[in-house]
Chain A
């Protein structure tokens, strides 16, 4: 077993885990943060994307023990419970950027990371290129791209990063 201490969505977390535990497993099963999904489990589909020290990573291909001492942000950490949605979440709601919704948490975490890296004015081409590692099996990319473009702009006028 390995002792780990990390910060998840702003809250300090301590745990004693099997070193084999994947970050996504730790988030879902130990912390019950089930917004982060397991899709392909092979680092291709992006349903498990979370932010590790502010950068989008695939939590299915990260060991929880490697996140010891670091900071993790999940879909649950974008906006406080009961508070208005994060502008990127709101944009997905507004523009119908989801069908079944399974890929959505990963899409949104990827989109927020994209805005952090490339700013608020994103071309469709940039968004599509950047979605390389996020698969939507409902093939609803059209509205996902629309949502991300709108969410990116909305983030410019929001206190939520």
Chain B
């Protein structure tokens, strides 16, 4: 790891000021993506701004019909939160599938979103649930926020402060894990919202998380696994690697989407 200067701001405003003042700063919270990358010397930020000691940035609460999760809430906090379990159990389950127990004690929702790993779980939940990603500057819809592999629309001095999830009528996330890394080979999040149905896929797209609108339209007519009978997704634009071909991932998307609808409706 190369040398850096460590900063521990007490407020988001202080953190943002540090980012403005020090070019090429990186924000750190759980550090479970950034530190490994720094150890490999793939990143060498001269300044680290630690968000993990900012009070009130990890809260979880209901605001009207939205579940609001603070940016530094850890995966373990989300997985075990009674508020999340009550409002959007699929989200709690998703958080409990990330990494392992020790990783879940450190990794944060804000960090996962800001990193936008194409195999991460939270981006699928954000896209399917139609979350709003709130920063110190503005509010972003997932479609504006996610900009492809490891890329977001966050500016260099912009910090995610919380994520607002409108509570769906039904939702489920089914993850097919890579047996070695435990990241999603494919993960499908299905949400039946008051006005529409959304199906978001992680792990498969060569440009990161994406929606399957054909499935959404079929499920909007009838929210049942049967609605997806015979439906497939093209392998074009999907990742193929030693873990699975693009065709295999396309197959998994259709299977997992069905299973997600089954899980959401409680019908096998």
Taking Cβ atoms with an 8 Å cutoff, the residues of A that contact B are: 2, 18-20, 22, 41-43, 46, 49, 52, 55-58, 61-63, 65-66, 68-69, 110, 113-114, 117, 130, 132-134
Interface pair A56/B101, CB less than 8 Å apart: yes
Interface pair B99/A133, CB less than 8 Å apart: yes
Interface pair A63/B106, CB less than 8 Å apart: no
A20: chain B residues at CB < 8 Å are: 1-4
B39 at the interface (CB under 8 A from A): yes
Q: Which of B29-37, B133-141, B215-223 contacts A (4 or more CB under 8 A)?
A: B29-37
A19 touches which of B6, B32, B101 (Cβ 8 Å): B6
A57–B101 Cα distance when bound, in Å, is: 8
Most buried by B among A42, A61, A110: A61
Interface pair B101/A62, CB less than 8 Å apart: no
Chain A interface main SS type: mixed
B31: chain A residues at CB < 8 Å are: 61-63, 66
Interface pair A62/B182, CB less than 8 Å apart: no
Given A43-B32, A46-B100, A61-B31: A19 and B105 interface contact (C-beta under 8 Å): no
B28: chain A residues at CB < 8 Å are: 66
Interface pair A130/B6, CB less than 8 Å apart: no
Interface pair B32/A65, CB less than 8 Å apart: no
Within 8 A of A (CB), among B1-36: 1-6, 8, 28, 31-32, 35-36
CB of B170, distance to nearest CB on chain A (Å): 26
Residue of A nearest to B7 (CB): A19
Interface pair A55/B105, CB less than 8 Å apart: yes
A49–B105 Cα distance when bound, in Å, is: 11
A18–B103 Cα distance when bound, in Å, is: 24
A43 touches which of B1, B36, B76 (Cβ 8 Å): B36
B39: chain A residues at CB < 8 Å are: 41-42
B52 at the interface (CB under 8 A from A): yes
Residue of B nearest to A52 (CB): B105
CB of B46, distance to nearest CB on chain A (Å): 11
CB of B75, distance to nearest CB on chain A (Å): 12
Within 8 A of A (CB), among B69-85: 76
CB of A17, distance to nearest CB on chain B (Å): 10
B247 at the interface (CB under 8 A from A): no
A133 touches which of B48, B52, B100 (Cβ 8 Å): B100
Given A66-B50, A132-B100: A61 and B6 interface contact (C-beta under 8 Å): no
Interface pair B101/A130, CB less than 8 Å apart: yes
Interface pair A49/B102, CB less than 8 Å apart: yes
Interface pair B105/A57, CB less than 8 Å apart: yes
Known contacts A66-B28, A66-B50; 9 additional CB pairs below 8 A are A20-B1, A20-B4, A46-B100, A55-B105, A56-B101, A61-B31, A62-B31, A110-B102, A132-B99
Interface pair B102/A58, CB less than 8 Å apart: yes
Residue of A nearest to B31 (CB): A61
Residue of B nearest to A56 (CB): B102
B79-93 to A contact mask, C-beta < 8 Å, 1/0: 000000000000000
